[in-house]
A and B are shown apart, each in its own frame.
Chain A
């Protein structure tokens, strides 16, 4: 069973706008990761935030983590049509074995 809940399930925006996706989880974590999946392709790692971090940036991506609320958000700024994909959060538990528990994902459509 999946641990993560993501919202919204689907998001449609215009190019240039910002996109925000949220993720909630249930148990203690070592880290939380965000992945992107283009239609029919494998997952690509975007960014990782550790349990002792609150915010992290990578290019146009900004991730926040609130361990007290067991939630995270992914912000994509100045979106591009190429950002159209499904985005998944995934948590790695405190045991740090590498086993990832994924959310159900947010499908993002960026209209040119």
Chain B
């Protein structure tokens, strides 16, 4: 597709369940980012991949959060033993290269709205 896609768009989980959120970046984009957006707030950085390498995971709130991008394209954000405070929109973004340099513009997906009951 032409843009970044995410699935599912909506996820309702019971507290304690594990969830997996998928991101399909724009084909060929080197960099992939995950952000968490609480209601009424701006997005907050979670983690960053360059190809398959996770170069920054400083924003992951706890060790219940895990992200992977094994083949350098699709990425999965996994949250184990979900808690109510994990309820948020999870946004994925990708960016490519232009002229051999990383482009600064990030392209965002529509997000996955996670509700933990």
Contact = CB atoms under 8 A, between A and B. Distances in A.
B95 interface: yes
Nearest to B30: A98
B110 A97 contact: no
B108 A43 contact: yes
B2 interface: no
Interface of A: 1-2, 4, 30-31, 33, 35, 41-45, 48, 88, 90, 92, 96-105
A103 to B, nearest CB: 5
Given A97-B48, A98-B33, A100-B33, A45 B106 contact: yes
B65 interface: no
Contact of A104 (B42, B93, B109, B110): B42
Contacts of B35: 100, 102
B108 A92 contact: no
A71 B104 CA distance: 19
Interface of B: 4, 31, 33, 35, 41-45, 48, 55-56, 91, 93, 95, 102, 104-111
A98 B95 contact: yes
A92 B48 contact: no
Given A42-B91, A45-B105, A97-B56, A104 B41 contact: yes
Given A2-B44, A88-B42, A92-B104, A99 B111 contact: no
